[in-house]
Structure 1
Amino acid sequence: MKKITLTALALMASAASFAQTTLWNGEDKELGTTGTGFWDRCTPEVVENPTKDAVNSSDKCLKFTITGTNWDNGDVAMNIADGNQFASKRLSLKIKKADRSNVKVQLTYNNGTGNAFKNVAAWYDGEGEWRTLYFDFSTNGEFSNPTEIAIYPTTDNFEGQKEVYIDDVQIEDLPTVGGVTLNNVTDGSLNGNIKLAGTWLKGECQNVDVDPWQKVEYNDFVKVNAKLSDAVTSVDMRGTVTKDVDVNQFFKNPNTIVYADGDYNHANVVVGGNAANVELTDANAFAIPENFTAASVKLTRTLREGINSFVLPFGVNPDELGATELATYYNKSEGNDVAFVKKDKVEANVPFITCNVAADKAGEDIALNFTDKGFVATPATFDEAFKGVYAPRNANGLYGIDNNGKLHKGGETATINAFHAFYQPAVGQEVAAAISFTSEVTGISAVTTTSSAAATVVYDLSGRRVADSLAAGRLAKGIYVVGGKKVAVK
């Protein structure tokens, strides 16, 4: 007996399982139908599923009886209506029988001179339970357009007879990334947010066309790892059909967020809008296309005594960052500085600075820990002059803030890491030398009513610049800040 040991054969079916081509199932197929149907061999009959479980919960399946291993009494055979569907060279089926053994699938095709055959075996370890077996024909040489399938429940000699149940005979879909077949994606070319589709498998079977049998190992997750760059920031595998997901292969960038239909006991995996644990580092890029919540978050980055710049995909307060205060950008003041407004908390994706970080909380590779955080999709750009950074980049010409609140222009070799921020003055604007703090916008007490124009910049109550002046355009009714005073526009 040539035994094939497979890892747990748990098929994670999803909403996109329709991507598979169903050749036969017990729910809506019949025996001996035109095109695709089981032949009258080994007394096949459609019966009630004798053991519904997580692998096969369908109501009906195929039952047949074998009395040996030869073609006439040891297999059940069916037509394939359209062999062109077999581009993936992968087939799966669900099977239930009493004993452990190899299960062989034989494809019949026309090689130009007549019928020829391809044979693959996979190991069944169910001992009376349903299992999903996968058969990969990619190493069996060239063939196309198979016309028949024969399923041999065992390759071992035996005495007596055996009852076998089969269901859901499927041609698996090709794995694709962004609509491109995996094998056609260039190594190292993938970046940003990517979406998977089709069937993604890891496992092994046996090519039975050679002697001794040849082990066939297939792992689409290792293949896609070679296609990833370290700039991939999210992988959406929801809606794929999968077997034995090797989730570690998605994390060439450790900040990658994986959106999945099932939990794989790995950090940065989001299931149903929730992640148990997210781990991030400022040394790598981060970006997400949609919101989720995380029960636990760890961000590793450098933290300096005094002032630090930040941007985060979730809201925070000063205590969570070891600071006494947080402050967000307000505007470039009349003097040679940049004004910030102190805040009790800062919302997601708003660049800010921390104030008064103590020496005992500063250092290299500090682990900042958070609980119950709502992540918000990453913006494409930042509107204000103080801009967040979600991917490490060159900082030549950008102005960073040191721990004492002074601004410094980056040189040719300067870099800035993710989850930091920098100041970028407008073209022609005087370069700022330092930061200062202004009162909360809502603390300005002078209020006037006007319908006339004023030649000063207009801000909303959150400190966002909304117009060059009141005369620059019609503003919606509301309270604005002009020249450091509240102005009501009616």
Structure 2
Amino acid sequence: MKKFTLVALAMMASASCFAQTTLWNGEDTKITSGEHAGFWGDASPVLADNHETDGINTSAHCLKFVITKGGNNNTVKLPFKDWIKPSMNGSKRVSLMIKKENAENVIVQLSDPTDGSTGYWYNQATWYDGGNKWQKLVFDFTANGDFDKPGVMSITPQAGNIDGDQIVYIDNIVIENAPRINGKLFSEYNAENPISGALTLTGAWMKGSSINVDDKWKNNTYNDFEFFKTQATDGVTSIDMRGTVTKDVDINQFFKNPNTIVYADAAYEHANVVVNGTAASVELTDANAFNAPEDFTATTVKLTRGVQKGINSFVLPFAATAEELGATQVATYDSYDKAAKIANFKTAADVAANTPFLTMDVAEDKKADVLNFGEKTIVATPESLGTDFVGVYAKTNANGKYGINADGKLQKGGEGAYVNAFHAYLNVTDPAAVAFNGSTPTAINGVAADKVADTAVYDLSGRRVYGKLQKGLYIMNGKKVVVK
């Protein structure tokens, strides 16, 4: 993740659609009079060399000025009205790099909408930790009202309790990009248009706080990741955050769906995070939807889903062997004999990724089994997972479809039946039996006489429940059941 990294963009009069707007970077803008007049102020700022380019600020030049304890000349100002005329582009945040000796608040004021002589001033303060090291400070103006084109920026580092003069360095002042999801601002998502599916994040995604000076120095917290979770559904299957600038990533907020795959530029302590094509671990459950838009390698994979003695239906996003699945063989779909009403399968020792298959001769029932796999290549999810024998990576209606019941027979799903993720169903007309390798049907020897619905148990959020049921309300066979 691009933590505390600023792209050195040229000063621009109008930013492209969602491009970050650099207000001042010390490299291509004068600070005195001229075609692009820049800073002025009581603190008499000058352009200086940056003597600490090996940290988060690699710029060659920066702004230098002096502040004094109790002094009245501690402010520098940057006017926009005559030259840059910046637009916030939906953003509410401004950031800057600062380096000085003592820890103290830094106040940033934005005027709206004129040169500051009329209109309003909006004020935010952010704490600087001191140590004479470059730090990036973010000022969030969400609590200060709706405005788009500030006229003047005023920057006042507080002098604190240190006597004498203090040298202050400032650099890389930018309007942070507004966080967007699939190109849309947060305001475009609501209960009628929730966040779901495969997502690409852009802009600056941040967690932090600044102080609203306009409201008795009230703390102003912000957390884009938490807001994301409030609007997201458990149908979010993937998040690509590689095009973002971030601060204090709250990665846990991205996993309302535990199967979500996150593509990032930095590693985080959570399963399902892919960095440079590799995830340390992947953890999946058949109770939620899954989709991988890109291939990647997982060092370990865990899949939670029930298996039964005998035969089970599967589809997996990686290649697997029968041995890994506790079976003697796997079987993939071959053809359907309409005249004989027989579905033909071919047995093998292993199966390719994203191929629906059956496991043969599983030794025992495991209603809440965790299947553990070593290093696997997760293959991007294709549009189709079969035609006659269909794999699913999301809970799917199975009314009229044929699955495998606990007796090892084909069984037609009734009204309210569905198939969970990482399972498969047979989608042909009135099958009588299943045959393997062209032989007489054996392992699955017929079709159950009655249509039955799903026999699994789910909570009211649709999550599958395993083991002994606690008191509460559950969904069984498509109906609500109370356990006392």
- TM-score normalised by the chain length of structure 1: 0.81
State the match for 1:453 in structure 2.
Answer: none
State the match for 1:355 in structure 2.
Answer: 360
Following superposition, the deviation at residue 54 of structure 1 comes to: 3.7
Q: Give a deviation string over 1:454-480, Cα, whole Å, max 9, x none.
A: xxxxxxxxxxxxxxxxxxxxxxxxxxx
Q: How does 1:323-362 map to 2 (within 5 A)?
A: 323-333=327-337, 335-359=340-364, 362=365
Following superposition, the deviation at residue 206 of structure 1 comes to: 0.3
Secondary structure in 1 matching 2:228: helix
Following superposition, the deviation at residue 389 of structure 1 comes to: 0.8
Is contact 1:406-1:435 (8 Å) kept?
no
Q: What is the distance in 2 between the residues matched to 1:400 and 1:322?
A: 20
State the match for 2:23 in structure 1.
Answer: 23
State the match for 1:400 in structure 2.
Answer: 403
Following superposition, the deviation at residue 201 of structure 1 comes to: 1.3
- 352 and 363 in structure 1: CA distance in 2 versus 1, 3 angstrom threshold: same
State the match for 2:254 in structure 1.
Answer: 250
State the match for 1:51 in structure 2.
Answer: 52
Unmatched runs of 5 consecutive residues or more in structure 1? 1-8, 441-490
State the match for 1:223 in structure 2.
Answer: 227
State the match for 1:4 in structure 2.
Answer: none
Secondary structure in 1 matching 2:136: strand
Following superposition, the deviation at residue 248 of structure 1 comes to: 1.1
Q: What is the distance in 2 between the residues matched to 1:342 and 1:172?
A: 57
Seq. identity, %: 48
- 16 and 280 in structure 1: CA distance in 2 versus 1, 3 angstrom threshold: farther
Is contact 1:308-1:354 (8 Å) kept?
yes
Secondary structure in 1 matching 2:327: coil
Following superposition, the deviation at residue 315 of structure 1 comes to: 0.5
Q: How does 1:40-79 map to 2 (within 5 A)?
A: 41-68=42-69, 70=71, 73-79=73-79
Secondary structure in 2 matching 1:183: helix
Q: Equivalent of 2:85, from 69, 72, 82? A: 82
Q: Give a deviation string over 1:48-96, Cα, whole Å, max 9, x none.
A: 222234422222222221124555x212221122143364221000111
- 110 and 399 in structure 1: CA distance in 2 versus 1, 3 angstrom threshold: closer
Q: Equivalent of 1:390, from 386, 389, 393? A: 393
- 12 and 326 in structure 1: CA distance in 2 versus 1, 3 angstrom threshold: farther
Following superposition, the deviation at residue 43 of structure 1 comes to: 3.5
Is contact 1:14-1:238 (8 Å) kept?
no
Is contact 2:68-2:159 (8 Å) kept?
no
State the match for 2:467 in structure 1.
Answer: none
Amino acid paired to 2:98: I
| Corresponding position: 1:203 with 2:203 | no
State the match for 2:112 in structure 1.
Answer: 109
Q: Equivalent of 1:97, from 89, 96, 100? A: 100
The alignment's C-alpha RMSD in Å is: 2.5
Amino acid paired to 2:63: L
Is contact 2:3-2:245 (8 Å) kept?
no
State the match for 2:435 in structure 1.
Answer: 436
Following superposition, the deviation at residue 15 of structure 1 comes to: 11
Is contact 2:344-2:438 (8 Å) kept?
no
Following superposition, the deviation at residue 424 of structure 1 comes to: 0.5
Q: What is the distance in 1 between the residues matched to 2:427 and 2:378?
A: 26
- 252 and 63 in structure 1: CA distance in 2 versus 1, 3 angstrom threshold: same
Q: What is the distance in 2 between the residues matched to 1:220 and 1:70?
A: 37
Q: What is the distance in 1 between the residues matched to 2:283 and 2:106?
A: 43
- 317 and 403 in structure 1: CA distance in 2 versus 1, 3 angstrom threshold: farther
Amino acid paired to 1:355: M
Q: Give a deviation string over 1:94-115, Cα, whole Å, max 9, x none.
A: 1111111111111223479825
Q: What is the distance in 2 between the residues matched to 1:185 and 1:325?
A: 47
State the match for 2:269 in structure 1.
Answer: 265
- 230 and 407 in structure 1: CA distance in 2 versus 1, 3 angstrom threshold: same
When structure 1 is superposed on structure 2, of 187-196 and 271-280 the one drifting more is: 187-196
Secondary structure in 2 matching 1:303: coil
- 409 and 15 in structure 1: CA distance in 2 versus 1, 3 angstrom threshold: farther
| Corresponding position: 1:11 with 2:4 | yes
Q: What is the distance in 2 between the residues matched to 1:259 and 1:15?
A: 25
- 67 and 269 in structure 1: CA distance in 2 versus 1, 3 angstrom threshold: same
Amino acid paired to 1:207: N
Q: How does 1:123-272 map to 2 (within 5 A)?
A: 123-154=127-158, 156=160, 158-187=162-191, 189-211=194-216, 213-272=217-276
Is contact 1:313-1:375 (8 Å) kept?
yes
When structure 1 is superposed on structure 2, of 100-109 and 378-387 the one drifting more is: 378-387
Q: What is the distance in 2 between the residues matched to 1:269 and 1:203?
A: 22
Following superposition, the deviation at residue 144 of structure 1 comes to: 4.7
Q: What is the distance in 2 between the residues matched to 1:53 and 1:207?
A: 33
| Corresponding position: 1:416 with 2:419 | yes
Residue correspondences, number: 424
Following superposition, the deviation at residue 386 of structure 1 comes to: 0.6
- TM-score normalised by the chain length of structure 2: 0.82
Amino acid paired to 2:419: I
Q: What is the distance in 2 between the residues matched to 1:36 and 1:420?
A: 66
Secondary structure in 2 matching 1:226: helix
Q: How does 1:365-384 map to 2 (within 5 A)?
A: 365-384=368-387
Q: Give a deviation string over 1:171-191, Cα, whole Å, max 9, x none.
A: 111111111111221236122
Q: What is the distance in 2 between the residues matched to 1:304 and 1:222?
A: 39
Q: Give a deviation string over 1:201-250, Cα, whole Å, max 9, x none.
A: 11111011232x11101111111112211111011111111111111111
Secondary structure in 2 matching 1:55: coil
Following superposition, the deviation at residue 391 of structure 1 comes to: 0.2
Amino acid paired to 1:406: K
Amino acid paired to 1:268: N
